[in-house]
Amino acid sequence: MHITPAASTAPDYAMLVRQVDSILEGERDLVANASQFSAFIYDTIADLNWAGFYLARPARNGAGQELLVGPFQGKVACARIPFGRGVCGAAAEQRQTMLVPDVHAFPGHIACDSASNAEIVIPLIKNGAVLGVFDIDSPTLNRFSQADQAGLEALVAAFLAATDL
């Protein structure tokens, strides 16, 4: 399989972190901040088709936890994802960022929007607990570089510091 180099130059993430700090300043509500953060990412980062939250909730079958869709921008998505399933479930279970250059090559990928080709999912970890994930999809193969990963992780850290969850 041929993978082209990362599609675009990384934006100035340090500046974007300052903007997130400023947008979320004075508000700690989860729904408000998660909505604002999703809108900011979707509007600011080029070449995305979905950006938003899945939040950890008790599984409806009573076994452990699952991910429930939260505030997002993009097309209607799957509502619930078990821990361990798909890219989001893997990030939640393994507690690490999943950078996927080609979602079609990822075992168990859940196709919510057929336009998605690349994905990055960052777990929300606070006080040692996984509280959910922030999921970003792109129609462009190999869209996210290591620099994007570091920058997006810094943005999610700014969201976590500013928000009660």
Residues 6+ apart with CB under 8 A from 115: 49, 75, 137, 139
Minimum separation from the CB atom of position 3 to ligand SME (A): 18
Minimum gap (Å) between residue 139 Cβ and ligand SME: 12
The SS3 call for residue 121 is strand
Query: How does DSSP classify residue 105?
Result: G
Q: Which helix (H) or strand (E) holds 55?
A: strand 50-58
30 vs 159: CA distance, rounded Å:
10
Give me the least distance between CB of 51 and ligand SME, in Å please: 9
Query: Taking Cα atoms as reference points, which of 38, 17, 47, 23 lies closest to residue 150?
Result: 17
- List contacts with ligand SME (CB under 6 A): 50, 77-78, 81, 86-89, 109-110, 112, 116, 119, 135, 137
| Residue among 68 and 78 whose Cβ is closer to ligand SME | 78
- Give the nearer residue to ligand SME in terms of CB position, either 152 or 162: 152
CB closer to ligand SME, 17 vs 68: 68
Cβ distance to ligand SME smaller for residue 93 or 153: 93
